[in-house]
Amino acid sequence: MRLREREITDANRRLTRRALMLGAAQLALVGGLGLRMRWMQVEQGEQFRLLAEENRINIRLLPPARGLIFDRNGVPVAANEPSYRITLVREQAGDTDLVLRRLAALLPLSDSDLARIRKELAERRGDTPVTVADRVSWDDLSRVAVNAPALPGVTPEVGLSRSYPLGPGFAHIAGYVGPVSDYDLSKIEDPDQLLRLPRFQMGKVGLESKLEDQLRGKAGTQHVEVSASGRVMRELSRVEGQPGVDVQLTIDAMLQTYCEARLSGESAAAVVIDCDSGDLLAVASAPSFDPNMFVRGISVADYKALTDNPYRPLAAKAIQGNYPPGSTFKMVTAMAALEDGIIGPEETVYCPGHLEVSNRKFHCWKRAGHGHVNLETSLRESCDVYYYELALKVGIEKLAAMAERLGVGERFNLPLSGMAGGRAPTKEWKKATFDKEWVIGDTVNASIGQGLVLASPLQLAVMTARLATGRNVMPRLVRAIDGVDQPTGRGDPMGMNENNLRMIRRAMFAVTNHQRGTAYGSRIADDTLRMAGKTGTSQVRNITEDERRRGVIRNEDLPWNRRDHALFVNFAPFDAPRVAVAVVVEHGGGGSAVAAPVARDITLQALFGGDPPLEAYPSAQRDRIRDQQDRLRDVLPRTGPSERGRA
């Protein structure tokens, strides 16, 4: 029994000893854990804190609102409109097929859309939002929002996207924006981080492109806390960016859309310039296109339709087109001769219907000839021989110099893409470009705006404005940037003899107001608003001697693209010129028959700021004009100054 007692006591003692040893070991380990904690949290705390911050904070760029573009009266030309899109997060959706089926019942989703969405959902991480539908209408968005409880994982989102409320009317001026391409980035040195944002759009063409830096604005930054799955939890701080500045144009939206509508059906261009300030009131090219298509992302078929159209809707013909100015150039020839003093306004030239120069016959458009013509009658009836003679006497150098003084061949500094330079050809230029000697025939051709002479409709309008005012009128397209008025293009006097200018203007007056004038049919009947102009019909082909003998083929019998260009330039009112207009109708036929009526309608529209009274037209034409006005009114969009406008 005692042995047993001792055994028990020994065992107990050993157990106590061992229990204490175990406890000590446990406490030692606990101490080790405590030291590790201290090391991590105190010694290395700062480092881990940084890692935690890095984890949670994301810096995001806030795209600024793009600057708006207005017409001269505050009508929005390029605006930002909320664009709605609907996204789907797979993880939150649960049964994605069910959700998609429900969405398809609410939204116009095609099978190919659904296939794309399914593919994206399968490829992306489960927590990445996939765009189900972009640019959905407010109605569709509301339908989805109302049904939100049945659509887990579906989120309607709002962003800003560019829109061109006037559609085709301003496509060639405002241009359009589009997604930033790698090519765009490669052209820019040190590109703005904004451009790398997905879905960010930049100006591609026209003003949008040329004024990109002003319109874009400055990005803001936002520090956001993100969760492990990338979801934004809250905003920590925000530095607002600077919205792009607003741009006001000199263009009158109403006139612009009128021009566009009046030219529709033709491949044509029209430019209206304010004689006083050089403000471009309308710069229209037809046919046009809807720039909104490009913002949305144009389909291949639509794009092909635009590029395949022989009327070239994508071309801004009013500023990009180089046309032989034809007889509208005759004022340049006449002015060069008058200023040179080689001929007086009353001095006559005999026109037998042609002029023979170094064994080559240069024909007048009138085979029978005009007989004796002076400056006024020659311009009025557009006699060619008179100008051949003038040009031979004054020489190409002075002719080209005068053309440039009047704006032909001058590349104006306007924020537009692909501005045409026109051409006032000289001997050196021909030598340098074609490595060919100048021949006298070149001078003869140039005298009537054929051959090597080229001008854009814009240049022709400027030329007319300069002739009308005697000042060096410069075209201006941007009236104000960010509310700051830009310098006007009023210009200083060109230093030409006022008498000579007056003679030219009177001759131009006769073109539209003398019964024998080539554009008498397109006169303005209102005495206070009389216009002075000049027709032009420029050949795009050579008429051979053989053809001339058999009789020149009538324009109507030619294929469209070989017909003559129809041109007309004018200014009005004659006594105190307010606007100058240039119209070019590609392959339109005769300037007097095709271009002049268009120019007169546009001029009257500009002078009256809307539909002119019928009394402004000759009485015989009023019925036809009334029909035309009615027809165009239906086509014209309503573009009265809106409340949204900011001037």
Partner 1 sequence: MSYLEYSVKYTPTGLRKVLYLNWALVILLTAVASVGFLMLYSVAGGRFDPWAAAQMKRFGLSLSVMFVVAMVPIWFWRNLSALAYGVGVTLLVIVDLFGAVRMGAQRWIDLGFINLQPSELMKIALVMFLAAYYDWLPARKTSQPLWVAIPAVVILTPAALVMGQPDLGTAILVATAGGAMMFVAGVHWAYFAAVLTGGVALVSAVFRSRDTDWQLIEDYQFRRIDTFLNPESDPLGAGYHITQGKIAMGSGGWTGKGFMQGTQSRLNFLPEKHTDFIFNTLAEEFGFIGAFSLLTLYALIIVFCIVAAIQMKDRFSQLLTIGVAMNFFLFFSVNMAMVMGLAPVVGVPLPLVSYGGSAMLILMIGFGMVQSANIHRPR
Residue 137 binds partner 1 (CB under 8 A): no
CA-nearest of 390, 426, 425, 421 to 407 is: 421
Residue 327 annotated in active site: yes
- Enclosing H/E stretch for 343: none
Q: Is 15 in the site for partner 1 (CB under 8 A)?
A: yes
Contact predicate 591/326, CB 8 Å: yes
| Residue with Cβ nearer partner 1 (23 or 441) | 23
State yes or no: residue 108 binds partner 1 (CB under 8 A). no
Residue 8 vs 552, nearer CB to partner 1: 8
User: Smallest gap, in angstroms, from Cβ of residue 238 to partner 1?
Assistant: 19
Q: Tell me which DSSP letter residue 127 carries.
A: T
Q: What does the block give as tokens for 440?
A: 């006298």
Residue (of 352, 450, 498, 335) closest to 402 by Cα position: 335
Q: Kindly write out the interface string for residues 176-215 of this chain, putting x where it contacts partner 1 by CB under 8 A and - elsewhere.
A: ----------------------------------------
Is position 28 an interface residue for partner 1 (rule: CB under 8 A)?
no
Decide: 251 and 282 in contact? Cβ < 8 Å: yes
Query: Least distance to partner 1 from the beta carbon of 1, Å?
Result: 12
Among 52, 188, 239, 543, binds partner 1 (CB under 8 A): 52
Contact status: 19 vs partner 1 (CB under 8 A) = yes
Rg (CA), the chain: 37
**Contacting range for partner 1; rule: CB under 8 A; set: 30-38, 63-71, 182-190, 576-584:** 30-38
Residue 46 or residue 556: which is nearer to partner 1 going by CB?
Answer: 46
Cα(486)–Cα(538) distance, integer angstroms? 36
Among 1, 2, 47, 480, which residue interacts with partner 1 (rule: CB under 8 A)?
A: 47
Q: Does 30 bind partner 1 (CB under 8 A)?
A: yes
Q: Applying CB under 8 A, which of residues 37, 65, 185, 239 lies at the interface with partner 1?
A: 37
Q: Quote the least distance from Cβ 228 to partner 1, whole Å.
A: 4
Tell me the closest approach of the beta carbon of residue 15 to partner 1, in angstroms.
6
Pick left, alpha or beta for residue 470 (phi over 0 → left; psi -120 to 50 → alpha; otherwise beta).
left
How many chain residues bind partner 1 (CB under 8 A)? 42
User: Which of 152, 62, 56 lies closest to 103 in space, CA to CA?
Assistant: 152
Secondary element (H or E) of residue 584: strand 579-585
Cis geometry, peptide bond prior to residue 573 (ω within 30 degrees of 0): yes
Which window, 22-30, 297-305, 597-605, 638-646, contacts partner 1 (CB under 8 A)? 22-30
- CA–CA distance, 162 with 78 (Å, rounded to integer): 7
The full DSSP string for 282-340 is EEEEES---HHHHHH---HHHHHHHHH-TT-TT--HHHH--B--GGGGHHHHHHHHHHH
CB closer to partner 1, 5 vs 557: 5
User: Segment contacting partner 1 (CB under 8 A): 53-61, 283-291, 384-392, 526-534?
Assistant: 53-61
Binding mask 352-391 for partner 1 (x = CB under 8 A): ----------------------------------------
Of residues 602-641, those binding partner 1 (CB under 8 A): none
User: Residue 15 or 150: which CB sits closer to partner 1?
Assistant: 15
Name residues whose C-beta falls within 8 Å of residue 413's C-beta, 6 or more positions apart in sequence.
none
H or E segment and range at residue 271: strand 268-274
Place of tokens 């397209």: 477
Among 16, 137, 242, 309, binds partner 1 (CB under 8 A): 16
11 vs 185, beta carbon nearer partner 1: 11
3-state secondary structure of 347: coil
Backbone angles phi, psi at 631, to 5 degrees: -65, -45
91 part of the interface to partner 1, by CB under 8 A: no
**Facing residues of 270 across strands?**
284, 583
- Given a contact cutoff of 8 angstroms between Cβ atoms, the answer to whether 206 and 174 are in contact is yes
CB of 481 to partner 1, least distance (A): 44
Which residues does 180 contact at the CB level (< 8 Å), separation at least 6? 195, 196, 200, 201, 202
- Which of 160/226 has CB closer to partner 1? 226
Under 8 Å CB-to-CB from 608, ≥6 apart: which residues? 616
The least distance separating partner 1 from the CB of residue 129, rounded to whole angstroms, comes to: 17
Candidates 163, 267, 288, 327; catalytic one: 327
Question: Is residue 45 within the footprint of partner 1 (CB under 8 A)?
Answer: yes
Query: How far is 488 from 480, CA to CA, in rounded Å?
Result: 10
Contacting range for partner 1; rule: CB under 8 A; set: 32-40, 358-366, 442-450, 511-519: 32-40
CA-to-CA distance for 367 and 200, rounded, in angstroms?
62
Q: Which is nearer to partner 1, 237 or 307 (CB)?
A: 237
**String of b and e for 261-297 (b: at least 16 CB within 10 Å)?**
bbbeebbbbbbbbbbbbbbbbbbbbbbbbbbbbbbee
- CB 581 within 8 Å of CB 602: yes
Of 4 and 554, which CB lies nearer to partner 1 in the complex structure?
Answer: 4
- 293-352 binders of partner 1 (CB under 8 A): none
Could you give the string, one character per residue 221-240, with x where binding to partner 1 holds by CB under 8 A and - elsewhere?
A: ----xxxxx---x-------
Measured from the CB atom, is 30 or 635 closer to partner 1?
30
**Window contacting partner 1 (CB under 8 A); options: 7-15, 470-478, 481-489, 498-506:** 7-15
Of 376, 565, 300, nearest in space to 455 by CA: 565
Q: Which stretch binds partner 1 (CB under 8 A): 3-11, 185-193, 209-217, 388-396?
A: 3-11
Q: Which residues contact 628 (CB under 8 A, 6 or more apart)?
A: 601
Residues lying near partner 1 in the complex (CB under 8 A): 7-8, 10-12, 14-16, 18-20, 22-23, 26-27, 29-30, 33-34, 36-38, 40-42, 44-49, 51-53, 55-56, 225-229, 233
> Which are the catalytic amino acids?
327
